[in-house]
Structure 1
Amino acid sequence: MKAIEQIIAGYVSLKNRQALEQLRDHRQHLLDDVRTHSVPGFRPSVVNETLAEEIELIEGALARFDEHG
């Protein structure tokens, strides 16, 4: 299990929706920064993919909160 999955599972078990939302927002901010700031010689594709995957995992966890009211 990846570290982000453990963090998400912890927040879910604690029913801490706010922490998940903050984590998602932070990852989204990082993704936006990587996409808008180019650094010569740096290829952000791996970082983009990782952050997008993490955001997707967080969104999935948040959806479970919505399903269970």
Structure 2
Amino acid sequence: MSESVKLIVDGYVSLKDRMALEEMREHRQRLKGDLQQKVGGCFDVSGSLRLFDEDLRVIEEGFARLEL
């Protein structure tokens, strides 16, 4: 997982900025979807997809912390 994503999510949670977390989640989902559509040829994008999944997991954990 990217340490920077964790720090950004922590900041949004501390500010209780749900909208920023939603935008961040949508952006990661869009990037992941775009990458999946363009996959092909001799490139292995599994590592990138895994990173997007980890980022999305961290963002979802941030939402869970907002609801506490």
Q: Which residue of 1 aligns with 2:50?
A: 49
Q: CA offsets per residue over residues 2-61 of structure 1, 9 Å max, x none?
A: 111110011111110100010011000111111111243221101000000000110111
Q: How many angstroms apart in 2 are the aligned matches of 1:3 and 1:10?
A: 11
Q: Which residue of 2 aligns with 1:30?
A: 31
Q: Identical aligned pairs, as a percentage?
A: 36
Q: Which residue of 2 aligns with 1:7?
A: 8
Normalising by structure 2, report the TM-score. 0.88
Gaps (5+ residues) in structure 1? none
Structure scoring higher RCO (CA < 8 A, sep ≥ 6) equals 2
How many residue pairs match? The answer is: 67
Q: Which runs of 4+ in 1 moved over 4 A?
A: none
Gaps (5+ residues) in structure 2? none
